[in-house]
Structure 1
Amino acid sequence: MLTLEQAGRIVDAALAKGAASGFQPLCVIVLDAGGHALALKRDERASISRPEIATAKAAGCLGMGFGGREIAKRAAAVPGFISALNTIFPKGILPVPGGVLIRDHQGVLIGAIGISGDTSDNDELCAIAGIEAVGLVADTGA
Structure 2
Amino acid sequence: MITLGHAQAIIAGAIAHAQNAALKPLGIVVLDAGGQLLAFARQDGASFGRFAIAQAKAHGALAMGDDTAVLAERAKGNPVFFGSLVGVFDGGLALSPGGVLVRNGDGAIIGAVGASGDTGPNDADAVRAGIAAAGFATGAAA
- TM-score, normalised to structure 1, is 0.95
CA shift at 1:91, angstroms?
Answer: 5.3
Please give the alpha-carbon distance, in whole angstroms, between the structure 2 residues aligned to 1:96 and 1:72.
6
Equivalent residues in 2 for 1:1-142, closer than 5 Å: 1-90=1-90, 92-139=92-139
CA shift at 1:92, angstroms?
Answer: 1.3
Please give the alpha-carbon distance, in whole angstroms, between the structure 2 residues aligned to 1:110 and 1:51.
21
Please give the alpha-carbon distance, in whole angstroms, between the structure 2 residues aligned to 1:70 and 1:88.
19
Please give the alpha-carbon distance, in whole angstroms, between the structure 1 residues aligned to 2:39 and 2:3.
10
CA shift at 1:86, angstroms?
Answer: 1.2
Q: Is the CA contact 1:59–1:91 (under 8 Å) kept in the aligned structure 2?
A: no
1:75-106 deviation per Cα after TM superposition (whole angstroms, max 9, x unaligned): 10111111111111145111121000000010
The alignment yields a C-alpha RMSD, in angstroms, of 1.4
**How many correspondences in the alignment?**
141
Runs of 4+ aligned structure 1 residues displaced above 6 Å come to none
**Which consecutive unaligned segments of at least 5 residues does structure 1 have?**
none
1:123-142 deviation per Cα after TM superposition (whole angstroms, max 9, x unaligned): 0110010000011101279x
Q: CA 1:140–1:113 in 2, change beyond 3 Å: closer, same or farther? A: farther
1:27-77 deviation per Cα after TM superposition (whole angstroms, max 9, x unaligned): 000000000010100113001100000000000000001111210111101
Q: Is the CA contact 1:55–1:91 (under 8 Å) kept in the aligned structure 2?
A: no
- TM-score, normalised to structure 2, is 0.95
